[in-house]
Amino acid sequence: MAKLPQDYDSVMARKNEVMNAALSIDYSQFESGSMAFDYEKMMRETGYTLEEMQDIQYSVNVGNTPILELKNLTALARACAPEGKGARIFIKDEASNPSGSFKARRAANAVYHAKKLGYKGVIAATSGNYGAAVASQAAIAGLKCIIVQECYDSKGVGQPEIVEKARKCEALGAEVVQLTVGPELFYKFILLLEETGYFNASLYTPFGIAGVETLGYEISMQFREKYGKDPDVVVCTNAGGGNLTGTARGLQKAGALHTKVIGASIDLTGLHMASDEAFNLKSCTTGHTGFGVPYAVDPDHSDVPRSAARPLRYMDRYVTITQGDVFYITECLATLEGLEKGPAGNTSLAAAFALAQELECDQMIVVQETEYTGAGKHVQPQLSFAKDNGIEVRLGDPADEVPGKSVIIPSHPSLIKVKDMDLDRQKKSLIKGNLRKYGTDLTEEDYQYLCDETRKDMDWVKAAVEELKAAL
């Protein structure tokens, strides 16, 4: 059999065929109209029930993680808040999972599914905690594992946090393929799937996202058992959107319909994530707007034909904080609560610290994840790396921070504030992207699909479509 062409354009031309073979999902069966697809049918027919997911995860020591109340951090928030304000702050300690993050839930289901279908190995394209989670679960299942990681700029300089995660993956038995920033990541990923015949353990499959539903469900059940009610607010670090999507779906399945779901990202406005020049100007590599915004408004530009991570369907509010805020809260968590955790969950924790000051003292706000920490994830290596790359690091007001130029550590905790993202603007951006991709001749199914995608009524969507059509 002749070897297929290996040039970039040829590989990209057959990417959907390769991805479908590596997933055993026919996404076309869920599509209709010109742009619509039945998201709930996809989740129902290709995923697992909540009970099945719990059984899979508990069998490999994933899930059932504890809820911890941060009493000292709550006291600090109340000292900064108006009279009578300052909700109780909690964290769901996902660092106690085998690989040290909530992503073990996604990986447990993905690896289980791969073994069930008879694949000999799994591949994931990720520079983050998910690689470690897939490596961990593959080791338990006896499957081969390859992690494709965007790690370096063109000068061969890697970020401490990403290099740390590579060490974690290798320690858990995975082969790590490290690449420079740019389109080569997806190209190499597709080639490896084709060459090995391994399973695509993507972050964005239905069974991967469904794996996070157990997290939202557990939060509700644990709060009801310990405190007699659901939390008032759940804050989710938002990057690719699967964290928030799965958690929100789990809360819904628990009947926690009045709990507000808030996404939080680090504001890295102006730093293009595929830019070689900008790559090492980020002092936090996870949970930032460089992923959070594009994946929210265009979820299907991921490594599967139709992403199961669709955060705009579930987000009640979307806020940003700064890199300096996250570094400050990381230190507070360690020195006030005796807990060392990595920056992913602490992104949400920084937001929760500010949001708690808007809420009444008898309300409860929970950060739904923590992550393991390690040499490259600590504050000092990251700040030293920033300085080495010409970033100004100083104390002051984080509102003055400029992504790619400065990291400003709050000189007082009262300076930690959230900024609200314009969700309506993002929802219009999602609609605009669909109109550009699929055309403007919409069926009623297409309109209903856009209503579901944006959590808006038909009148709002039709008005938005007419407005955007005029601008195209």
Tens-level pLDDT at each residue, the chain (472 residues): 568 889 999 988 998 889 888 888 889 899 987 899 999 999 998 778 999 999 999 999 999 999 999 999 999 999 999 999 999 999 999 999 999 999 999 999 999 999 999 999 999 998 789 999 999 999 999 999 999 998 899 999 998 988 898 999 999 999 999 999 888 888 999 999 999 999 999 889 998 999 999 999 999 999 999 999 999 999 999 999 999 999 999 999 999 999 999 999 999 999 887 788 888 998 888 899 999 999 999 999 888 889 999 999 999 999 999 999 999 999 999 999 999 999 999 999 999 999 999 999 999 999 999 999 988 899 999 999 999 999 999 999 999 999 999 999 999 999 999 999 999 999 999 999 999 999 999 999 999 999 999 999 999 999 999 999 988 8
Give yes or no: residues 384 and 299 share one domain: yes
CATH (domain of 359): 3.40.50.1100
Q: Are 215 and 248 in contact (CB under 8 A)?
A: no
Q: Is residue 318 part of a domain?
A: yes
* Structure tokens, 18: 């390769």
> Residue 59 contacts by C-beta under 8 Å, 6 or more apart in sequence?
none
Establish if 353 belongs to a structural domain. yes
Considering the domain boundaries, does residue 221 fall inside one? yes
Confirm whether 312 is domain-assigned.
Answer: yes
Number of domains in the chain: 2
Single-letter amino acid, residue 307: S
What lies within 8 Å, CB to CB, of 240 at 6+ separation is: 203, 204, 291, 295, 302, 309
d(CA 5, CA 19) in angstroms, rounded, equals: 17
User: Does 463 lie in the same domain as 395?
Assistant: no
140 CB-side CA count, 13 A: 22
Within-domain flag for 114: no
Is 441 inside a domain boundary?
yes
Residue 443 lies in a domain: yes
Q: Are residues 263 and 278 in the same domain?
A: yes
The answer to whether position 391 is within a domain reads: yes
- Do 311 and 270 share a structural domain? yes
Query: Looking at the structure, do residues 398 and 273 belong to the same domain, yes or no?
Result: yes
Residues 365 and 402 in one domain: yes
| 320 and 434 co-located in one domain | no
Do residues 401 and 435 both lie within one domain? Answer: no
Within this chain, do residues 338 and 455 fall inside the same structural domain, yes or no? no
448 shares a domain with 344: no
Query: Which residues form the domain of 461?
Result: 425-471
Same domain, 257 and 319: yes
Shared domain for 402 and 328, answered yes or no, is yes
